[in-house]
Chains A and B, each alone.
Chain A
Amino acid sequence: GAVVSQHPSRVICKSGTSVKIECRSLDFQATTMFWYRQFPKKSLMLMATSNEGSKATYEQGVEKDKFLINHASLTLSTLTVTSAHPEDSSFYICSARFMGADYGYTFGSGTRLTVV
């Protein structure tokens, strides 16, 4: 149980275009999702916390107008990288908290974004 499906797994886009990454909780309701960015051989860096039905909370230094987060339902959160630049190339990962007897946190499989 407690699976988060993240799509796409890989995407290549041209500079200046926008890319949308989706994360869906398949068998549970995720009131809160977290979006991380990971550079090669580095740890995960929290970008923002997404709460269903409200505005996301961004970490310091993360441009909210560039990284648009929408959490319109209890099972779907999206991250849109707007006007992408090569420096936005990275591995983006979502995470959700699930409740119940086996509470914990589950991660999506990640999205490798390459901006050319």
Chain B
Amino acid sequence: GESVGLHLPTLSVQEGDNSIINCAYSNSASDYFIWYKQESGKGPQFIIDIRSNMDKRQGQRVTVLLNKTVKHLSLQIAATQPGDSAVYFCAEGTYGQNFVFGPGTRLSVLP
């Protein structure tokens, strides 16, 4: 079936550096994408979303880029902080319906 995957299962960055987490999706019909952050023992926390009619969207310290040509999604975190350490999931779907989640990338922020 359709699937969403992540290129890197783990990512370590120095505090203050920028982080880039990548995600590949396979369903060309998906028109809505979300990035979530999940800390240990907690539920997922919505970070940012993007619709297929956009290729970039910015939030506070985060930017999501969507490349529909190669079915690629990325999350950029500026000036990574210790509190950013978590597992990040991308999810694809159609707005109003359920989503397929990727396997997750663990981000570790080094002091």
Contact = CB atoms under 8 A, between A and B. Distances in A.
A binds B: yes
Contacts of A93: 43-44
Interface residues of B, number: 18
B64 interface: no
B83 to A, nearest CB: 17
A44 B41 contact: no
Nearest to A103: B95
Q: Secondary structure at chain A's binding surface: helix, strand, loop or mixed?
A: strand
Interface of A: 6, 32, 34, 42-46, 49, 93, 95, 97, 103-110, 112
A43 B102 contact: yes
Contacts, number: 41
Most buried by A among B43, B95, B98: B43
A43 B105 CA distance: 10
Nearest to A110: B43
Most buried by B among A32, A43, A97, A103: A43
A107 B43 CA distance: 6
Contact of B98 (A6, A43, A49): A49
Contacts of B45: 107
A91 to B, nearest CB: 8
A108 B49 contact: no
A21 B95 CA distance: 26
Contacts of B36: 107
